[in-house]
């Protein structure tokens, strides 16, 4: 049995090595013509925004359009203004991004993935009136035009396949751990293979090829790091790990200036730190809230030891806002900062964090939950206030959100267990088109009350509830007052708090 396990492990290591070799081969060799070879200097840009100019070359159907993106420094979602796009006219959307990154344009014809650069304007010319011709008609101009052509080609190539959803299904399947890893590795290999094939015929900046390679690689490895603990806590599986299961960590650098723009690099670093913390006896002896504080403090210490410069500062800002918005533990965190335990090498990071905290910490326990309305699948509109008298868990989610999809089985269990006892789950989809939302409802089979909000409504709710990434849960008592915002996920023990509120209301 041990030999069999070792062979599987060797195969897994070889597979990862193959992925890394393929990715490295993409950007280290070959002739790129006029492709940009210089990696952009790594410095967070707090002064400039990216702009998206849209031109509707069709002859009918004015549309409401808006954009959204996930800010790099905070676990948040940011939206542009919602504008009217008329035939033969330009509109311009502003994205307050701090680094080159992905974003999305939301239209009635679906979402269009984009790549934007601070200080740059991306021009998009398309026929926004015909769903069958929309993507075929898209043209890009600007510094990142080649990158956006790659994004569009990738979406066309994988048409009909939702790779995020496929990975979520695999992660929540009751299959052996090695099979889980192998199947998700296969998805990563598909992405890298497409990147490799595309770059044989089309120009891409070398720094972006490097960026894409590292993002895919760190995504895969972050998933492997958290898989054993996730499967134990969420699926009840006790995997027997090979003695050298975590050796894949050695295949990538922990401090990696080449991955400075990569979202999944920071996720990997956080997962790696947490992996180390779990092995500490002091952490294992703590209860939930104390364990969260200990984990945060140790991550700060590890960042001080293993990271440098703006990578360190960016990581610490992200971890601080995540901790604050996940726990609401303001007093302890502010005391932690006052004691000099959290310092930044750049003063502008301190200013950024202070501004963010002052804006986000506005909805406290006991305050009346801000009312909002949304549309049901049949078009009828309902308000949050319509559920007064019930204990309500609001789930702000998005179909592209991998953690959101992981929560669906646990949300279903909540409704089955408490749905007839005065509890209501409201799933609020915030930043995609109605068409995409309806398709997602059919695919994912969400239970509870399902609502969709348009761009203007989304922006208002985001501000009122200080929405900090997806999924974002808010627990509201039977009197319509906030019990906790944000609150725990269904997979993280929220059922106990709901049951306590139900007992109080009876």
CATH 2.60.40 corresponds to the domain 50-144 = yes
CA 58 to the chain's CA centroid: 33
> What's the CATH class of domain 373-505?
alpha beta
Question: What's the longest Cα–Cα distance across the chain?
Answer: 72
How much is the mean pLDDT over the chain?
86
CA 35 to the chain's CA centroid: 29
Neighbours of 39 (CB within 10 A): 16
Q: 424 pLDDT exceeds 90?
A: yes
Q: 170 pLDDT exceeds 60?
A: yes
pLDDT at 323: 87
Question: Helices 206-235 and 2-28 sit at what angle, rounded to 10 degrees?
Answer: 150
Q: How confident is the model at residue 114 (pLDDT cuts 50, 70, 90)?
A: very high
Most confident of 24-38, 247-261, 457-471: 247-261
Share of the chain above pLDDT 90, in %: 55
CB contact set of 251 (below 8 Å; sequence gap of 6+)? 16, 17, 20, 221
pLDDT at 76: 66
What is the phi/psi pair of residue 33, to 5°? 60, -120
What is the phi/psi pair of residue 222, to 5°? -60, -40
Characterize the bridge pairing of strands 381-383 and 373-375: antiparallel
User: Where in the chain is CATH 3.40.30.10?
Assistant: 373-505
Q: How confident is the model at residue 408 (pLDDT cuts 50, 70, 90)?
A: very high
Q: How confident is the model at residue 81 (pLDDT cuts 50, 70, 90)?
A: confident
* 218-260 tens-digit pLDDT: 999 999 999 999 999 888 999 999 999 999 999 999 999 989 8
Higher pLDDT, 384 or 260: 384
* 299-348 tens-digit pLDDT: 999 999 999 998 999 999 999 988 887 777 778 888 998 899 999 887 88
* pTM across the whole model: 0.73
User: Where in the chain is CATH 2.60.40?
Assistant: 50-144
Q: 162 pLDDT exceeds 50?
A: yes
CB 97 within 8 A of CB 70: no
pLDDT at 8: 34
List the one residue out of 137, 138, 145 whose CA is nearest residue 120. 145
Most confident of 25-34, 68-77, 119-128, 450-459: 119-128
Share of the chain above pLDDT 70, in %: 90
Characterize the bridge pairing of strands 90-95 and 63-69: unpaired
SS3 call for 402: helix
Distance separating alpha carbons of residues 233 and 210, to the nearest angstrom:
35
List the one residue out of 206, 265, 261 whose CA is nearest residue 42. 261
* 36-71 tens-digit pLDDT: 545 556 577 777 889 999 999 888 777 778 887 887
Neighbours of 204 (CB within 10 A): 21
User: Which residues make beta-bridge pairs with 475?
Assistant: 393, 484
- Range with the poorest average pLDDT among 4-18, 109-123, 404-418: 4-18
Q: How confident is the model at residue 438 (pLDDT cuts 50, 70, 90)?
A: very high
CB 80 within 8 A of CB 107: no
Higher pLDDT, 70 or 390: 390
Mean pLDDT of 445-466: 89
Instruction: Render the burial of 82-91: b for 16+ CB within 10 Å, e for the rest.
Output: bbebebeeeb
Helices (H), 203-329: 206-235, 263-278, 281-284, 288-306, 309-327
SS3 call for 122: strand
């Amino acid at each position: 049995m041990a030999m069999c396990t070792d062979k599987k492990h060797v195969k897994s290591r070889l597979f990862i090595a193959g992925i890394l070799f393929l990715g490295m081969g993409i950007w280290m060799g070959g002739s790129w013509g006029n492709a940009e070879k210089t990696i952009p200097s790594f410095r967070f840009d707090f002064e400039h925004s990216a702009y998206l100019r849209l031109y509707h070359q069709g002859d009918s159907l004015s549309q409401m359009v808006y954009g959204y993106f996930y800010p790099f420094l905070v676990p948040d979602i940011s939206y542009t203004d919602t504008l009217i796009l008329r035939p033969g006219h330009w509109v311009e959307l502003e994205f307050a991004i701090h680094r080159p990154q992905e974003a999305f344009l939301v239209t009635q014809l679906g979402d269009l993935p984009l790549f934007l650069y601070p200080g740059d304007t991306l021009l998009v010319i398309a026929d926004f009136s015909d769903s069958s011709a929309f993507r075929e008609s898209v043209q890009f101009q600007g510094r990142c035009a080649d990158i956006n052509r790659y994004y569009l080609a990738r979406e066309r190539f994988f048409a009909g396949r939702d790779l995020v959803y496929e990975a979520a299904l695999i992660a929540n399947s009751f299959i052996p751990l090695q099979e889980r890893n192998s199947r998700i590795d296969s998805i990563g290999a598909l992405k890298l293979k497409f990147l490799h094939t595309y770059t044989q015929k089309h120009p891409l900046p070398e720094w972006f090829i490097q960026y894409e390679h590292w993002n895919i690689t760190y995504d895969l490895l972050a998933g492997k790091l958290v898989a054993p603990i996730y499967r134990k806590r969420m699926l009840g599986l006790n995997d027997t790990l090979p003695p050298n299961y975590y050796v894949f960590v050695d295949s990538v650098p922990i401090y990696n200036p080449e991955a400075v723009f990569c979202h999944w690099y920071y996720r990997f670093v956080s997962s790696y730190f947490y992996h180390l913390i779990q092995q500490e006896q002091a952490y294992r002896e703590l209860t939930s809230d104390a364990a969260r504080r200990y984990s945060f403090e140790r991550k700060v210490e590890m960042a001080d030891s293993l990271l440098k410069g703006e990578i360190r500062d960016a990581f610490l800002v992200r971890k601080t806002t995540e901790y604050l918005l996940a726990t609401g533990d303001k007093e302890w965190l502010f005391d932690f900062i006052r004691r000099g335990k959290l310092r930044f090498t750049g003063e502008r990071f301190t200013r950024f964090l202070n501004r963010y905290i002052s804006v986000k910490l506005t909805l406290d326990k006991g305050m009346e939950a801000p009312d909002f309305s949304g549309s049901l699948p049949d078009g009828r509109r309902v308000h949050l206030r319509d559920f007064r008298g019930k204990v309500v868990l609001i789930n702000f989610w998005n179909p592209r959100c991998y953690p959101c999809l992981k929560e669906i089985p646990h949300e279903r269990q909540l409704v089955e267990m408490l749905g007839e006892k005065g509890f209501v789950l409201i799933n609020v989809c915030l930043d995609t088109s109605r068409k995409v939302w309806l398709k997602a409802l059919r695919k994912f089979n969400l239970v509870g009350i399902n609502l969709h909000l348009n761009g203007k409504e989304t922006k208002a709710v985001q501000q009122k509830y200080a929405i900090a990434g997806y999924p974002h849960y808010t627990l509201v008592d039977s009197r319509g007052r906030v019990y906790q915002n944000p609150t725990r996920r269904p997979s993280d023990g929220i059922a106990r708090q709901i049951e306590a509120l139900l007992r109080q209301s009876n």
